[in-house]
Amino acid sequence: MNDMSPESYVTADGRTIGNVVMDMRDITLKFGGVTAIKDISFDIREGEIRAIIGPNGAGKSSMLNVISGFYTPQIGEIWYRGKKRPPMKPYQVARQGIARTFQNIALFEGMTVLDNVMTGRLTHMNASVISQALWWGKAQAEEIENREKVEKVIDFLEIQNIRKTPVGRLPYGLKKRVELARALAADPQILLLDEPMAGMNVEEKEDMSRFILDVNDEFGTTIVLIEHDMGVVMDLSDRVVVMDYGKKIGDGAPDDVRNNQAVIDAYLGVSH
């Protein structure tokens, strides 16, 4: 969608979401002779839940890595809040207010839940190394402020009773929730979730779905979601992008995507 997009967009269920916050324009990403993403364009709107779906190997995680700065596309442009974004490192993207979780859990297993979530605040810490080491002045004030924010996230995600537990001792579903907490601790404007419910049982998926909706509703956080559970995707998402072999084959409201014949043939199948 171009810069002349209307300021708001009404979803199929009557929810109003904001103007375009990120615009992916003609993105192509290659690894040697392999094209992971081919000429894909789509936008992300303020306050929406935007899903990216497709078969394994479709290029979904590669697209998330482009958004978060882990990969730099050879062709195409990323526009963020009306400005063309230059090539950036992941930490620079994080400082712009974009946080993410990973398909494979990337936590510090020997550290407590609290300490893991605190690492999400690193981009907000500006005190000098000396004052941090001495826990003095600005560093002390920062520590207190950041810990307050982290405790609020821990309360929000209902993990108070495990805050002092080493992450390595936790079951898989709780580790996923801790990873979400760490991403939320960064106060992201855009939250990228790479298969947040992979490997979860039904009850864990219901809990995670509730938290994702609450994050979007209560914090107003824009969410970009990769997920294979189509029931979850159709229930949570405002709009859905469908990828197949690195190409975009569908884009629209969940019902539009569900009834798109190209999407049915490539991914959903007759059972859906």
Ordered mean pLDDT values, 10 residues apiece, the chain (272 residues)? 53 75 96 94 96 91 95 96 94 92 80 91 56 51 79 93 93 91 93 91 93 94 92 92 94 90 77 40
Q: Give the CA dihedral 8, 9, 14, 15, nearest 10 degrees.
A: -60
DSSP assignment of 37-54 equals EEEEEEEEETT-EEEEE-
pLDDT value for 146: 82
Place of tokens 């995670």: 208
1-97+224-272: CATH, from 3.30.930.10, 2.60.40.2130, 3.40.640.10, 3.40.50.300: 3.40.50.300
Rg (CA), the chain: 19
Residues 6+ apart with CB under 8 A from 215: 184, 191, 221, 223
Question: Tell me: the pLDDT tens digits for 68-115?
Answer: 999 999 999 999 999 999 999 999 999 999 999 887 777 888 899 999
Is the dihedral angle over the CA atoms 158, 160, 163, 167 positive or is it negative? negative
